[in-house]
Amino acid sequence: MKIFETSITWFVILLLIVSSACQDTSTQKGPPQGVPGELVDPHSSAEKGGAVVTHLELDISLDFTQKIISGSATLTIDNPQSKPYLYLDTKDLTVTGVVLLSTSQKSTTATYDWLPEDSILGRPLVISLASDTRAVSIQYKTSPTAEALQWLEPGLTAGKLHPFLLTQSQAINARTWIPIQDSPGIRFTYAAKVKVPPALMALMSAENPTEKSPEGTYTFKMKQPIPAYLLALAVGDLAFKEVGPRTGVYADPSVLNAAVYEFGEMEEMMTIAEGLYGPYAWERYDVVVLPPSFPFGGMENPRLTFATPTVIAGDRSLVSLIAHELAHSWSGNFVTNATWDDFWVNEGFTVYFENRIMEALKGREYSEMLALISYQDLVEEVKDLDKKDTHLKLGLHGRHPDDGMTSIAYDKGYYFLRLIEETVGREVFDAFLKAYFTENAFKVMDTERFLERLDRELLKDRPALKAKLDIDLWVYGPGIPANCPKAETPLYSRVEAEFAAWQGGKAPASLSTEGWNSHQWLYFLRSLGDETTPEQMAALDEAFHFTQSGNSEIQCEWYTHAVRHGYEAAYPALESFLTSVGRRKFLMPLYKEMAKTDEGKKMAISIYKQARSTYHPISYMSIDKVLGWEE
Ligand SMILES: [Zn+2]
């Protein structure tokens, strides 16, 4: 069902006119267009049952001076119902020509138009199709402010000699660098030719080079179908080193060795993951370490995880992030949330899987620490969120999907799955999950279909178990249900005992903290109450040197307390942290904490003035809201 003003006759005449202009790539505006019929998902203009993209051929070059990507995207389509239009998502793209390619290899200038602009979703491009259209080829360029792209000056990279470009397509940013159907429910294969300045290496979520091309021309192939949010490109002064037969690390040459050490357990993690839920589907698993302004901890771009350098702590203490991104090779990349309302289907499963990998790698005491930290994050997040945003099944229609990227999908999702595991038994649940991944490979999954499967496979005719789970409350209800499992670990009991001793008057230096890992320290710091004084902060700092910590998780936690308890000696270190790191997970609590008081807000704004231009749009768009910042 579509609302178009043009009649079919007019459309046919127009097609006859434009098809006479073979090989012509000039722009041609079509008749005014209406809106598509029922949508695949509320954040894409792709029509249900409409023409869909099955393959992308990208031919682009990068201009670091102008901060622009330009070139062509050729999209092979499948149009079983012979629909007259192809709807593509775009945001801030300039299109200079569209050509139709027919099944008999003819090319014809296409008629195209735009749907009205939406501030969140961008401006859908509508291309009129002919009955024999096999593919469409779009000439385009990006805007310097494209939300997916971050162009970094050399000074913001580890080596400080060359610029860097990185992309972040999730959730709906792919459309700001490629005209595409930007819905997690639409998968396609891709190939790409990318031209970059000669001193730089280009990498994608695809088969990657291991050496620089002298001319700066790279070709890529991705033969497994992926949704648009997993399209990724990183370009910079990068070098490669193997970790294991199927795994390796790309990083700035100056951090490569440190990264290879830090991620040395990757191959083992892969073996564990495959032992749990079946073969790895993407052949290689590599990690690229990005400059510190990358807004996330990691992004599960297939075959090539993008990772923040803030996990390189020197002692492998933060590598559960790699377990997380690797787990996405099954949950997310392999079985994908149908829409962003089902985001927990990606993230909840991934946190559960991550935890299982870490348990097998480091033991239950260790993985329970991670589970408890995850519970604390959940409790904090629930306090801040609107009740309806604490349901596992989200309602993001009319909103930005990033609004749903909270601890709910991750940690409430994790605890829901853990509850199922504890209720039906681990062996049964593992067999269920293995079959779930195998049978839904390269497909989408929504909340309801998962629940149906759960019911059919594990809960049918078992009303007592069903009642115990209280599924509706978890999925469609707010907050943390009372039957939420409890994580426990003696590693934290030790911390609690020492914390109590300190509160009872024992000097920090005489606490038994030998051999504590960074999660234990984090747990200790999270126990600091509102009544903590600047003097107590100073005494703790003198004994444990938190201000000078090289561990980003501890730094973030400590600086948050420094602001909360007025410990000014840490402010210079806080400032240098905020001006050198762009990971949103660390920036948000620190800016939020400062924004609580007038004086703090002044400090926040003065730091933000210097730092904002070094942050990725994903980070600064969130902080703008916290500080009420207007450009
Ligand atoms: Zn994730």
pLDDT attached to residue 363: 98
DSSP string of 141-195?
Answer: E--TT-TTEEEE-GGGSSSSSS-EEEE--TTTTGGGTS-B---TT-EEEEEEEEE
pLDDT attached to residue 496: 97
Angle between helices 571-578 and 584-594 (to 10 degrees): 140
pLDDT attached to residue 631: 76
Distance linking the first and last C-alpha atoms of the chain:
42
CATH architecture of 8-233: Sandwich (2.60)
392 membership: H or E segment, kind and range: none
CA of 230 to the centre of ligand 1 (A): 12
- DSSP class of 19: H
Q: Which CATH class is domain 336-476?
A: mainly alpha
> Which residue in this structure is represented by tokens 């004084």?
533
CA of 598 to the centre of ligand 1 (A): 35
Cα diameter, the chain: 88
Nearest partner of 178 among 294, 77, 59, judged by Cα:
59
Q: pLDDT digit string (tens) for 379-404? A: 999 999 999 999 999 999 999 999 99
Q: pLDDT digit string (tens) for 515-530? A: 999 999 999 999 999 9
Please tell me which residue in 147, 262, 265, 325 is annotated as part of the active site.
325
CA of 296 to the centre of ligand 1 (A): 10
Q: 238-316 has which CATH code?
A: 3.30.2010.30
Q: Is 325 a catalytic residue?
A: yes
Q: Is 571 a catalytic residue?
A: no
Residues of the chain with CATH 2.60.40.1730: 8-233
Q: pLDDT digit string (tens) for 21-69? A: 333 333 444 434 556 788 889 999 999 999 999 999 999 999 999 999 9
Residues of the chain with CATH 1.10.390.10: 336-476
Q: Which CATH class is domain 498-627?
A: mainly alpha
Residues of the chain with CATH 1.25.40.320: 498-627
Residues of the chain scoring pLDDT < 70: 1-35
pLDDT attached to residue 35: 67
On average, the pLDDT of the chain sits at 93
Q: pLDDT digit string (tens) for 434-486? A: 999 999 999 999 999 999 999 999 999 999 999 999 999 999 999 999 999 99
CA of 287 to the centre of ligand 1 (A): 15
d(CA 298, CA 282): 18
For ligand 1, a single-atom ion, which residues have Cβ within 5 Å? 347, 350
